[in-house]
Amino acid sequence: MSETPNGPAGPAGPGNPGTPPPAGDQGQGTTTQGGVPAGKKEAGRDRDLASWLPTVVDSIAAVVLALVVGAVLIMFSTPRVVESLSYFFSYPWDFFKFSGEAIWDGYRALISGSVGSGTAWTRTLERAAPLICAGLGVSLAFRAGMFNIGAQGQILLGALVGGFIGFHYDLPAGIHLLAALAGALVAGGLWGAIAGVLKARTGAHEVITTIMLNYVGRFTMLYFLGKEALQRPDSDNLLSPPVDDSAAYPTIGGVHLGVLLAVVAALFVWWLLERSTLGFEMRAVGANPDAARTAGMSVARVYVLAMTLAGVLAGLAATMTVLGRQDSLTDQVAGTVGFDAITVALLGRTTPLGTVLAGLLFGALSAGGLSMQGAAGVPPELTQVLQALIVLFVAAPALVRGIFRLRGQGRKADVMATGW
């Protein structure tokens, strides 16, 4: 019994080549790349891009909503707007007029102070650079399934070692800078590795250990600042000398070289996560450590390396202030960069590009906040309120989509630390 030409074909083999491709597909559209048809590969890439679009829209909507709420706060923090409420029903025009002027003056000062001039751009970039580096460290740990709260302590240790090398030793210019930079990176990496080793060997939760290491890092800084070798000459204050000019970042167009290193760090993290074997293992462990272990991956090794690299990036963030702006060492030299980095990583959806954009946004808010206070009389705390509102709305995407009537279908799932 023989099959008709239109009947089903048996399995392909030496005696049966299988069903031939349709006539319309012969000779075109069959080129493969790595065993995957080129058309399917392009379609998959388009789907990946499309899946990120709702996430980007949600983030932009969260920022817009935060600015709207901020506008209301500007209105009711302006004295003449509050005074106009006493006669609102008699002459309401004053309330709307003064409110509009207050909002316009406040946000115009914010934009002018952050991107309105070359000096403003320099200030924004230099404030954004440490946020980007530390945020990349937090994002990297997130992708490996760990919630890194310890960037603050890692920055302090990186600043301590890098700053000490920068002002204590007398070395040639290029060598001095490289030595101070290497010291900061190694110190930050080792401090981050402590939490990774504790997680891998004992199962200690990284949230607890990194928070505690922040305190240990701060008191370690205070202990060494009490030593004569780190204090300024003829001074008993817990304040070190600034680093020598030979250890400081050179400037390019008014911006120190550390800003460029922050961009290089973002490119490195992207390559690590998307193109390297270690990055694949990090993402696999972050998604499901049990499955990764079953596949033969060393989960403990990934935890240690992820936290070490996160600490290295935090150490790089420390050099932005110590070697970039040449700030003196104090227990407050890191400011709140380590904690703000968590916000930057969350707003950036734990991706390198998103972290860079979020760092630039927060750098602009920080740089423009002073202009808002000076030019428009807006309280300086408002910029911190704006940052908190952005985080609040980013953390509540359903609320944002409900307010703006955005669709939630096809939204790419956020990458969160499984340990958290």
Q: What is the pLDDT of residues 194-219, one digit of tens each?
A: 999 999 999 999 999 999 999 999 99
> Among all chains, which residue has been given the structure tokens 């000076």?
374
Residues 6+ apart with CB under 8 A from 15: none
Bigger pLDDT: 134 vs 238: 134
CA 345 to CA 131: how far, in whole Å? 9
- The pTM for the full model equals 0.81
CA 65 to CA 143: how far, in whole Å? 28
Handedness of CA 22, 24, 28, 33 (dihedral sign): negative
To the nearest whole percent, how much of the chain has pLDDT over 90? 49
- The mean per-residue pLDDT over the stretch 319-331 comes to 92
CA 197 to CA 316: how far, in whole Å? 21
Classify burial at 367, counting beta carbons within 10 Å of its beta carbon; exposed 0-12, middle 13-18, buried 19 or more.
buried
The DSSP secondary-structure symbol of 29 reads S
Query: Does the pLDDT value for residue 58 go beyond 80?
Result: no
Secondary structure (DSSP) of 307-348: HHHHHHHHHHHHHIIIIIS-PPP-TTTTTTHHHHHHHHHHHT
Res 53: pLDDT: 58
Query: Does the pLDDT value for residue 13 go beyond 60?
Result: no
Range of lowest pLDDT (32-46, 164-178, 216-230, 327-341): 32-46
Query: Does the pLDDT value for residue 243 go beyond 50?
Result: yes
Helix, strand, or coil (residue 253): coil
Classify burial at 24, counting beta carbons within 10 Å of its beta carbon; exposed 0-12, middle 13-18, buried 19 or more.
exposed
- Give the number of other CB atoms < 10 A from CB of residue 297: 18
For 144-245, where are the alpha helices, taking DSSP H only?
151-168, 173-202, 206-225
> Among all chains, which residue has been given the structure tokens 């069903």?
19
Res 347: pLDDT: 83
Highest-confidence range of 168-172, 183-187, 369-373, by mean pLDDT? 183-187
Tell how many helices (H) and how many strands (E) occur in the chain. 15, 4
Residue 198 token pair: 């504790």
Q: What is the pLDDT of residues 256-287, one digit of tens each?
A: 999 999 999 999 999 999 999 999 999 999 99
How many angstroms separate the Cα of 413 from the Cα of each of 52, 54, 266, 282? 9, 10, 22, 17
Annotated domain spans of the chain: 130-360
Mean confidence (pLDDT) of the chain: 83
Res 37: pLDDT: 55
